[in-house]
Every structure is written in C-alpha cells, then in structure tokens.
Amino acid sequence: MKFGLVRHFKVEPPPLQGWVNGRQFNEWVRLYDAADIRTGEWNQPAELWDHCLCSDLPRAVDTARSIYSGSITFTEQLREIEVAAVSVSGPRLPVPWWLALGRLSWIFGHRSQPESRRTTSQRVKAAVDLLESVPQRSGVLIVTHGAFMKQLERELRRRSYQGKRMGHPRNGQLYTYEKIEN
C-alpha cells in the first residue's frame, strides 16, 4: 500500500500585524481556518492515486480539488491540530509567537489547547487504521495540514512504512510512504 501526503497550498492569511492579545489571536486562527488558498503549482501525475482522502477544512478541500480530479472523501479526522492562545487576556505577542506558544502548550499538555496529544494520537491511529482497512486501494492521496502530517508520518513509520523524512512539511509538496512487504 502506498500513501501520498500533501500539505495544503499556502493560505492568504487574514491581516493581523503587530502585537495582539489572546482573544485577537484566537479570532485570527478562526479566520485562518476559513481563508482562501494561493493556488500553487502541481506537477505530479494524478494516475498514481486510486483515491483521495482530505481534511474537511476549506484550505485542504480547495487544494485537493485543484490537484486531484477523481473521487475525494472529506473527513474531519484529517483536520489540523487545533491551536489556541494560552490566555485570552494577558500579554500581547506577535502571531508567530502565539503559534509557537500554542504548539509548545500542546506538546506539554497544557489545558488551554483544544485537543490533547493523546486525542491527536488516537485520531492519527484511527485515520491510518481506516486507510489500511480498504484493501482494494493501492494508492491513496492524503491532503491535510502541517502539524497533523508530522504526527501521521510518525504513525506510518511506526507501522513500517518507508519514505523520505519530512522536516517541516512544505505547502503543496508530495511526500510518499510505502509499506514494503517481506
């Protein structure tokens, strides 16, 4: 079985500059989740894939529709790991700092984050179980999000899939993983 992982194309981020509080950051995240994409260049042959499975967030949906012409299944199981401000009041920080603080808070299990690492891990395992349970498919294209892709890659490697390691998943780039049966 072969999986192709693609991070959605770049997003037209909602404008928010300077130092913002947690409430403003959370609103920015909500707008980012609904933002349009900058359609990128895709030069991978579509016939490699029997089916496409995609996150149901708009940026992934738009990407999948622009790169794959066959049947696409949309699911919330492939959504990005949610991020939220650690505190809605309190310090004012630039958006990238809020993002980093939110990811660190998720890693360390802070209650401010909407989803725990354990819940994310269960979601990733369930997604791979679903993918592996469909025997007639030899190649599935998966369109999802950066942080979730890293967790998905970890689970695929745990299950003996091989492919090029992704450092920081790039928008619109294909990462292929294949299980080599002995």
User: The domain spanning residue 70 has which CATH number?
Assistant: 3.40.50.1240
**Mean pLDDT to the nearest integer, 23-48:** 87
Task: Report the mean per-residue pLDDT for the chain.
Answer: 91
Residues with Cβ within 8 Å of residue 136, at least 6 apart in sequence: 50
Share of the chain above pLDDT 70, in %: 96
79-125 pLDDT, tens per residue? 999 999 998 888 899 999 999 999 999 999 999 999 999 999 999 99
Please count the structural domains in the chain: 1
Structural domain span for residue 103 = 2-179
Share of the chain above pLDDT 90, in %: 76
13-35 pLDDT, tens per residue? 888 778 999 999 999 999 999 99
pLDDT tier at 179, thresholds 50, 70, 90: confident
Q: What is the pLDDT of residue 46?
A: 63
